[in-house]
Amino acid sequence: MSRIGFQLYPTLSTVFDLLRWKHFLEIVLSFHSSSLRTESDRLIFKGFPNSPFLIHDGFYFREFSLPDTPVAKCLVSLLIHFANSVFPSRVFHLSDSKYTPDEISKVYSDYISEQARQTGLSDSIVNFAPTSSRHCGYCTDTIHPAAAIICKGCNRRAYCSRSCQEVDNTDLGQNHSRWCSASNSEEDIDWEIVPVPNKGLGVIAKKFIAKSTRIMIDPIRDIIFPAVRDLCPIGSTILEKDRLNSFGSCGGSSSMLFVRVARMNHDCDSNASQGLEQGTRVMVVVSNRDILPGEEICINYTNYNGRSGPRSVSDARETLKSKWDIVCSPDTCACARMADMLDQCRHIDQEISEMVKERNPSSDALDKVDSLLQLLDTANATWTWKQHTYWMGFKIAIMRPETLGRAFKYGERAKEIHGRIFHPESDRTKEIEFTIQNPKSHKCFLIKVAAQSA
């Protein structure tokens, strides 16, 4: 047996080309394993732990043992030729006596450090090394990680082609160029769609997902979108798939269908909630509480714990039964346990809304706001309801000079939550920020003082 290996020196900007190289070698060796009789079914990778800019599993370094035969030598020659064509002037052969392993390690470490210094990059640029299949961020097709095109902005979102990436950067897709710099979870990295016992497919967390994290940003799809064919019910018509998976109608003309959100299963006490971002075509799913690795991520299909959800448990159960054939047990249903609390929330919410509408808050109006916020948290209400309540608190508090301080606290909290759920630079977030900074622009500002002065 002979030891054959070589060292690759790609620039940091082509780290994902190196991933493709890694898988290319694995595939070639697997195809020729019978003739090459390799000692191992995989390549032997070694890293240099002293350098902070190296990927930890060290697959920059290639070394494998092959029988000393003409076939093996021919294959290795082809691999080396391919390496030189992809990474010209950056291939070092271990068999070359003028380079010792220590010298190679030092040259490589110095090279990476210099590249990082010149470009301002850190080790985060090479922190992601996919080991399983990816899914295209636009068409949702499965991609071998070696063939995936990774967004260079976030180094997370994957595509099967440049055309899918281009479309996804527009309003026809996620408009990823807008979301790229925001903090978002991503499929196959933070969560995945896999079979769930007794439920079919579901969304499972791959990593710890903290409370109030954006899990999905899923664009509206027309029913003719190819991925809709894969939705449940299996073997049904497109219209039946649309009826089962849609969230209603959009402008009365097309369904609000989201092919990734549609994979989420229902839970009355869901650990995530969904909301349609105002003025865009995306549904955003946000975690209601901390979600552990391996835990299923669920939403409440009826939005019963939302401000605009069904007013009664019976209505929620009827919707679940008629549309999704989901039957909740009265003894275990979280909606039943929270029914009285949510009824109380809706009653207080209506009182607060009337005060804002009439511009006539009672002396205990802000106490009602605080009480509602506490109840909403206990009842696992949606983030959009909590954000709305904070904004109502702001509107009430700016009506009186003595409560202006509390108004800004409510307003800042409303802006923070809205920016966590939806885009931090959205028009609505900017509108909230402008109103907080310029309270006089709001019709509720010191309304009592103005009325008394008139």
pLDDT tens by residue, 182-191: 888 999 999 9
Please state the rounded mean pLDDT for residues 245-250: 68
pLDDT of residue 394: 94
- Judged by average pLDDT, the poorest of 116-130, 192-206, 405-419 is 116-130
Could you tell me the pLDDT band of residue 70, with boundaries at 50, 70 and 90? low
Residue 88 has pLDDT above 70, yes or no: no
Could you tell me the pLDDT band of residue 328, with boundaries at 50, 70 and 90? confident
Name which residue leads in pLDDT, 78 or 34.
Answer: 78
Please state the rounded mean pLDDT for residues 78-106: 50
Contact yes or no for 36/67 (Cβ under 8 A): yes
pLDDT of residue 374: 94
Domain 134-299 has CATH 3.40.190.10: no
Name which residue leads in pLDDT, 446 or 233.
Answer: 233
Residue 105 has pLDDT above 60, yes or no: no
Q: Report the distance separating Cα 276 and Cα 222, nearest Å.
A: 16
Name which residue leads in pLDDT, 129 or 226.
Answer: 226
pLDDT of residue 198: 84
Q: Which amino acid is at 294?
A: G
pLDDT of residue 353: 93
pLDDT tens by residue, 13-59: 344 555 555 555 565 555 444 444 333 333 333 333 443 333 333 33
pLDDT tens by residue, 354-401: 999 888 888 899 999 999 999 999 888 899 999 999 999 999 999 888
pLDDT of residue 350: 94
3-state secondary structure the chain: CEEEEEEECCCHHHHHHHHHHHHHHHHHHHHCHHHHCCCCCCCEECCCCCCCCCCCCCCCEEEEEECCCHHHHHHHHHHHHHHHHHCCCCEEECCCCCCCHHHHHHHHHHHHHHHHHHHCCCHHHHCCCCCCCEECCCCCCEECHHHCEECCCCCCCEECCHHHHHHHCCCCCCCHHHHCCCCCCCECCCEEEEEECCCEEEEEECCCECCCCEEEEEECECCCCHHHHHCCCCCCCHHHHHHHHCCCEECCCEECECCCHHHCEECCCCCEEEEECCCCCEEEEEECCCECCCCEEEECCCCCCCCCCCCCHHHHHHHHHHHHCCCCCCCCCHHHHHHHHHHHHHHHHHHHHHHHHHCCCCCCHHHHHHHHHHHHHHCCCCHHHHHHHHHHHHHHHCCCHHHHHHHHHHHHHHHHHHHHHCCCCCHHHHHHHHHHHCHHHCCCCCHHHHHHHC
Average pLDDT over the chain, rounded to an integer: 76
Name which residue leads in pLDDT, 446 or 67.
Answer: 446
Residue 451 has pLDDT above 90, yes or no: no
pLDDT of residue 264: 96
Residue 141 has pLDDT above 70, yes or no: yes
Contact yes or no for 417/383 (Cβ under 8 A): yes
Cross-strand bridge partners of residue 108: none
Cross-strand bridge partners of residue 257: 221
pLDDT of residue 268: 86
Please state the rounded mean pLDDT for residues 323-345: 79
pLDDT of residue 26: 60
Half-sphere exposure of 71 (CA within 13 A, CB side): 10
Please state the rounded mean pLDDT for residues 240-266: 79
Residue 173 has pLDDT above 50, yes or no: yes
pLDDT tens by residue, 262-321: 999 999 889 999 998 888 889 999 999 999 999 999 999 988 888 888 878 888 888 888
- Percent of the chain residues topping a pLDDT of 90: 36
Closest CA to 131 of 140, 144, 141, 122: 144
pLDDT tens by residue, 333-342: 666 777 888 8
Domain 335-453 has CATH 2.60.40: no
pLDDT of residue 123: 36
Residue 168 has pLDDT above 50, yes or no: yes
Please state the rounded mean pLDDT for residues 112-116: 49
pLDDT of residue 50: 41
Return the domain boundaries, the chain: 2-126, 134-299, 335-453
Could you tell me the pLDDT band of residue 89, with boundaries at 50, 70 and 90? very low
